Structure 1
Amino acid sequence: MFAGHDPFLVALSVAVAILGGYTGFGIAARIRTAPRANPRLLLTGAAAFLAIGIWTMHFVGMLAAPIPADASYLVLPTVISFLLCALVVGISLFFVSIGSPSEGRVSASALLLGLGIASMHYVGIHGLAGDFSIQHDYGMLVLSVVIAVAAAYGGLKIYLARQGGLRLALSAIAFGIAVSGMHYTAMYGMHFVPAAAGHHHEFGGLVASPQLLSLAVALLCFVIAAGFLLFLVPEQRQRLATLGPEETDSDTIDLPADPDYHPPRFVDQPASRGLPLGGIGQPKQMPVSRVPVVSTEGTLLIDVSDIRSIRADAHYTLIHDGQRERMCPWSISEAEARLDPALFTRVHRSHIVALPHVSFLRKEGDGAIIELDGPVPHVVPVSRAKIAEVKARLGLVRGAAMRQ
């Protein structure tokens, strides 16, 4: 399969696919583990790095192949091959990012992505121009498509699994080898047939030489390597893990103080009823059973049993009901005071979670993340100082003293 190929460029093509897969799927995975990040920006970055990695791997492999010396590249098919790759990668990641990804949706997305990778390859191949024609072994063509779909399925599973570190690296290696295997399988079944004597092909449109393509590929290799290295730079909360306990004991060591914090107030309880307005030495208000949220029709009241998490948003909060976030007119501190402390706990300066809906807990950096169940599972961060309390509330630590 590699007969006549430049071994150094073959190795580079595999490395590019691995780096692109690691960076792309690593960025995509943060959509589910970084609740404050912009999911559209992350999805765009993930699709871009995956598409660049797959496309660059393909053309590094083309430069490594023993193609005819007079071959050149038609610009339009070459550009279309990249756009096609970027489009199907973006669509596939989007479909598995919305809602709860079923096995059927993952399989359909993998089929779309695999066919897109194969189409990118063959469109790019037929962008070669010269005094020759290209023939394919259709058995190898079908096998290459099967490998592309399998690689796409494995890659999407990498994205959906909460993997990081060594496991993500091993998965990216498997993905890069699979994508490269698809390319070289297809190349093994491809044959250049010289044009008949005295017959010359006429090509319309822009044509790029192999040397110009080499410069473009080298630039994209640099982009992938730079993105990979930047992705490895630890986040602020990871760097704080190296500080001493006396420097990181506070909940707010990694973030500034909450400017929107206000003492609890109970404005919906008229003083004429003789109910306390809160304060030191006064009894606490009974927990509410419903919470107001704002909609286009007006203000709705949702049952507290439907609430998964509450996130601070300026002077208001966003309540996640298992499907989407809705705006609540309460501040984060007011919500904390009104809700039943047996069911809800504040795990971060900006987040409250419903303990009965916690389905997953994982240490991350110097803090942790919690996943809440529902039709659309989502995650929230847990500050370092709250980890022990949360574990105790969930029954994960025996005899742990809960912070009041």
Structure 2
Amino acid sequence: MLDYSHNGFYALASLAIALIAAFSGLTLTQGASGMRAPVRKVVVSVSAVILGWGIWSMHFVAMLGLDLPIAFYFDPLVTLISALTVILLMGLALLIVHFGTRTRGRIILAGGIVGVAIPVMHYIGMSGMELCSPVYSPLGVVVALALSIAFSVAAFLISYRQRTRRDLLLGTLAFGAAVFAVHFIAMAGTGFVADPDPETIVPLMSKGVLAFGVTISAFVLSGAFLLSGATFATRLDRSAPEAAPEPAPVPEPAPSPGLRLPYESDSRTHFIDAEAVSAIRAEGHYTILYAGAERLFCPWSISEADKRIPKPLFLRTHRSYLVNRDHVTSFERRKDNGVCYFENTASLPKAPVSRSRLRDVREALGM
């Protein structure tokens, strides 16, 4: 086995690349589920490229810091395959969480796919080494895979919990740690032997050529980081409704079956059909709309929402809750109150029913 070591500067640079890619990709998809399908596809595709290319770049920045007593090169085709593989798997994971009803199970599945993609990219890229061959220990492979899946699932669960700034930052740290840790844990379980009869028939990439490519990649990722960082800094954080501007007074029109509810996002007022909202919860002088996996900040108060929305559609189940009865999938009677459940609303699985409103709710639900 050949003796080898890692350059500390390149190790830190690879960690920075992993964090930049994670932040850029995860931030870019914030609010994507509320976009029209064609726009959402573009956003998800770009995010997949940023995250996948960032994982690839992190790996090869770290490989630039690998010091071996002999020269080594990389097969360009194998290197390209490793990059495309991780990009495609990242795209699959993002499609799962941004198309269809977002549930905890889908988020875990997406995180698991990413957890597999990271070591797969690593080992495909390592197989492209020429003039020397990597030798893997089974334990190192298992540990790298298990750690990658654990970190990636955690990153997705955190990032897609409520999509707040705090969640995205914590998800960035978990994702960056996954990519960084997997590489060096896998390398700790890897040895190298010199090829006895090296073949250099195909064009090979030296460390100098690789460094040039990685530098360009880092530059592009940094640009994406700056753009997503600017968006992140100005985007309305839905977890802090008190920071929203005071809504202008509006007249109270008569309720209509086609009523649309306003919500604030990206410094603009958007609208969502009332029928698509499962529940409305009071949040100070404002409210939160729950629709699928989304939590939307509405400038209306709970009292104003109660006046504007047709009563047959929404029920006042609690002083802080209005519930769309068409979205209630089950009801639980407790000692002196109750609970409405929404199996298709990941952002709000249940809503309380107070004692004073228990009879009305049960009658409206046909019980």
TM-score, length basis structure 2: 0.68
1:216 matched to 2:213? yes
- Alpha-carbon distance in 2 for matches of 1:143, 1:155: 18
Structure 2: give runs of 5+ residues left out of the alignment. 237-244, 264-268, 307-318, 322-367
Aligned-partner Cα distance in 2 for 1:222–1:345: 44
Q: CA deviation at 1:204?
A: 3.2
Decide whether the 8 Å contact of 1:147 with 1:179 is kept in 2.
no
Q: Is the 8 A contact 2:278 2:290 kept in 1?
A: yes
Code of the aligned partner of 1:351: F
- 1:201 & 1:111 partners in 2: Cα distance? 37
Please state how far the C-alpha of 1:83 moved relative to its aligned partner.
0.2
2:199 pairs with 1:202: yes
Give the deviation of 1:50 after TM superposition.
Answer: 0.7
The one-letter code of the counterpart of 2:33 is R
| Contact 2:19/2:175 (8 A) holds in 1 | yes
- 1:97-246 map, 5 Å: 97-130=98-131, 132-196=132-196, 200-234=197-231
Distance in structure 2 (CA, Å) of the matches to 1:359 and 1:211: 58
Q: Deviations over 1:351-372 (max 9, x none)?
A: 2542873356889xxxx99544
* Residues 256-295 of structure 1: CA deviation (Å, up to 9, x unaligned): xxxxxxxxxxxxxxxxxxxxxxxxxxxxxxxxxxxxxxxx
1:339 is matched with 256
Structure 2 CA distance, aligned partners of 1:178 and 1:103?
Answer: 20
Q: Distance in 1 between matches of 2:77 and 2:231?
A: 40
Which residue number in structure 1 is paired with residue 278 of structure 2? 357
Distance 2:48 2:188 in 1: 28
Structure 2 counterpart of 1:275: none
CA distance in 1, matches of 2:203, 2:211: 16
Map Cα deviations across residues 58-114 of structure 1 (whole Å, 9 max, x no partner).
111111122344101110000000000000000111112222234443333333322
Cα-to-partner distance string for 1:331-390 (whole Å, 9 max, x where unaligned): xxxxx867159xx46426762542873356889xxxx995444xx4556674xxxx1445
**1:100/1:350 CA distance change after superposition, 3 Å:** closer
Q: Gapped runs of 5+ residues in structure 1?
A: 240-246, 253-335, 398-404
1:361/1:29 CA distance change after superposition, 3 Å: farther
Residue type at the aligned position of 2:305: R
CA distance in 2, matches of 1:338, 1:153: 44
Closer, same or farther: CA 182–359 of 1 in aligned 2, 3 Å? farther
In structure 2, what is the Cα distance between the partners aligned to 1:379 and 1:40? 21
Distance 2:52 2:22 in 1: 9
Distance (whole Å) between structure 2 residues aligned to residue 210 and residue 235 of structure 1: 35
How many angstroms does 1:174 deviate by?
Answer: 2.4
What is the TM-score with the length of structure 1 in the denominator? 0.63
Q: Any idea what the Cα deviations from partners look like across 1:24-50, whole Å, max 9, x if unmatched?
A: 111123213557992111111211111
| Contact 2:73 2:129 (8 Å CA) reproduced | yes
Counterparts of 2:93 and 2:112, CA distance in 1: 9
Q: Is contact 2:141-2:186 (8 Å) kept?
A: yes
Counterpart position of 2:33: 32
Separation in 2, partners of 1:118, 1:236: 32
Q: 1:235 offset after TM fit, Å?
A: 8.0
Q: Is the 8 A contact 1:31 1:37 kept in 2?
A: no
Q: Quick check: which has more Rg, 1 or 2?
A: 1
Q: Percent identity, aligned pairs only?
A: 23
Q: Which residue of 2 aligns with 1:274?
A: none
Inter-partner Cα distance in structure 1 for 2:82 and 2:283: 40
Task: Compare 227-236 and 113-122 and name the one that shifted more.
Answer: 227-236
**Equivalent residue for 2:50?**
49
User: What does residue 348 of structure 2 align with?
Assistant: none
**Structure 1 counterpart of 2:271, one-letter code:** H
Change (3 A) 1:388 1:98: closer
CA–CA separation in structure 2 for the residues paired with 1:65 and 1:17: 18
Structure 1 Cα separation of the partners of residues 261 and 60 of structure 2: 51
SS at match of 1:347: strand
- On the 8 A contact 2:282/2:320 being kept in 1, the answer is no
- Contact preservation (8 Å) 2:280, 2:287: no
List per-residue Cα deviations over 1:111-164 (Å, max 9, x = no partner). 33222221110010111111x322111101110111111122123223422233
User: Does the C-alpha gap of structure 1 residues 222 and 236 become closer, same or farther in structure 2, counting only changes over 3 Å?
Assistant: closer
